[in-house]
Amino acid sequence: MWMSMDAKKIHKNTITGQQGINLIEKRVLEMGFLWYPTGGIEAGIDGTIEIRDSATGIAFNAIIQVQSKATIGQFQAETPEGFDYLCDVKDLNYWLQGNAPVILIVSRPSTDEAYWVSIKDYFQDFTRRKAHKVHFSKVRDRFDSMCVTLLIHLAIPKEAGIYFSPTLSEEQLWSNLLEVTYIAENLYIAHTEYHHPQEIWDFMRSIDEQVGAEWVLKNKQIISFYNLGEYPWKKVCELGTVECFHTNEWAYSQDAEHLRDFVWLLNRALQSKVRPVVLYDRKKSYYYVKATHDLSPRIFAYQSLENKTTRAVFRPYFRRGEPKRIIYYRHSAFEGQFRRFNSRWYLEITPTYHFTTNGYSPSGYADDALKGIKLLERNQAVLGQVVMWASYLNKPPDLFTSKYPFLEFGQLQSVRLDVGIDDTAWLGEEEDDLVKATEAELDELTLFAP
């Protein structure tokens, strides 16, 4: 094929740059905003976003200037969690001038990824400005429909008093309440000569019997889902005193003491149901994933709200820059509270984390690490953990596990709303500052761990 040496060429970088602009325009229009490319000569601004109420169509003449930087390959210092972008000093000085907000959008069009930062907000910190480098989080900084409210707040001052109509779309609102669908039909009470639970445990071991924890010893009475008139329980009970009650008599009793005892039994049943993979920490009052025997990561496979997925529920975390030096092991965990609403019982699931130095001993970094995670995790991340625990708890038996006889769970409770809820509208405006401060604390924790 013949080609003139004087032929006009369009370099690949030019194509990539335009693909980045196209991706930004696509996302902006999906948000319901307007996009105006700069075109022609420009000194460092590739386009402008005008804020518009997608429900009413009203445009507000409130703008955000946009600088686009697109790439084909890896981002600078890229990890699964984030990456860096080093700003040209002249560009940075230009962006920081003027009275309009400016956002930098770094994208990789080939993978449909785009991330953003408000330049003037990010570089208020003199240390950051001196380094002229932006660190992007791949979770927090995604440029997509989740950042609509943040862009509105950036473009429109509080004193403007502009009202946006609620999103006219249905939304499924999920709770952290997991329905209890089955509880053992009968509850048994019997007198015993034993005063302390450990005495009963010791006796059962002496006759080579392994019994579950679904019983309570109280005032020399055993209360249990087990039939106390059968072996081996009849060995520790006075047979003539065994009484059987329908569980509903206690589950829906007006007697506060009966209800406390019943909830106590439910908690014991839950502890037995989740063993041996999930353990209960009596001091912390939560359930946590047990370490693997060789301290390798433990993975849960489960059905999320949309598809099948996996999550590392036990894994090591390493000191920054030293991939062989473990700071702590993190175990997925949850607090579980049984609650009764409208004559039905539910387990309230509150996700949390458990930290150890070696899979067993508590870590000295636990409080700081937990505080940091709680501030960084957004609603979707917490919901994902709730769904994971619900899937684990209501998982049916398979060829390797038998059906647990005393307690079964159904589905997470949800409600469908006619109007969508913008999650970011619930967040306090100070949250970004808290997130930034927390990220700095976590960096310090990993840098100076002994």
Work out the average pLDDT over 59-72.
93
Q: What's the pLDDT score for residue 12?
A: 82
160-212 pLDDT, tens digit per residue, is 555 555 555 566 788 999 999 999 999 999 999 999 999 999 999 999 999 99
Instruction: Decide: helix, strand or coil at residue 231.
Output: coil
Choose the CATH number for 12-160 among 2.60.40, 3.40.1350, 3.40.50, 2.40.40: 3.40.1350
Helix ranges (H only) for 275-422 are 366-376, 379-393
Smallest CA-to-CA distance from 148 within 122, 166, 170 is with: 166
Confidence of residue 428 (pLDDT cuts 50, 70, 90): very low
Give the lowest-confidence range in 38-42, 268-272, 421-425, 428-432: 428-432
Residue pair 434/375 in contact (Cβ under 8 Å)? The answer is yes
Residue 107 forms beta bridges with which residues?
Answer: 70, 114
Which pTM does this prediction carry? 0.60
CA distance 214 to 205: 16
The chain-wide mean pLDDT, for the chain, equals 86
Of residues 180 and 376, which shows the higher confidence score? 180
Q: Residue 247 carries which side chain, given as an amino acid letter? A: T
Q: What's the pLDDT score for residue 136?
A: 95
Instruction: Decide: helix, strand or coil at residue 54.
Output: coil
Question: Which DSSP state fits 99?
Answer: S
In 259-321 the beta strands, taken as DSSP E runs, fall at 278-281, 286-289, 298-303, 308-319
- Residue 10 clears pLDDT 80, i.e. is over it: no
- Could you tell me the residue ranges of all domains in the chain? 12-160, 176-181+274-447
Confidence of residue 446 (pLDDT cuts 50, 70, 90): very low
Query: CB under 8 Å to 160, separation ≥6 — which residues?
Result: 62
DSSP β-ladder status, 221-224 and 186-191 = antiparallel
Smallest CA-to-CA distance from 295 within 278, 264, 317, 275 is with: 317
235-274 pLDDT, tens digit per residue, is 999 989 999 999 999 999 989 999 999 999 999 999 999 9
Of residues 292 and 44, which shows the higher confidence score? 292
Query: CB under 8 Å to 330, separation ≥6 — which residues?
Result: 314, 315, 316, 317, 353, 354, 355, 369
Work out the average pLDDT over 399-423.
79
Work out the average pLDDT over 5-30.
84
Smallest CA-to-CA distance from 362 within 333, 319, 384 is with: 333
96-142 pLDDT, tens digit per residue, is 988 889 999 999 999 999 999 999 999 998 889 889 999 999 989 99
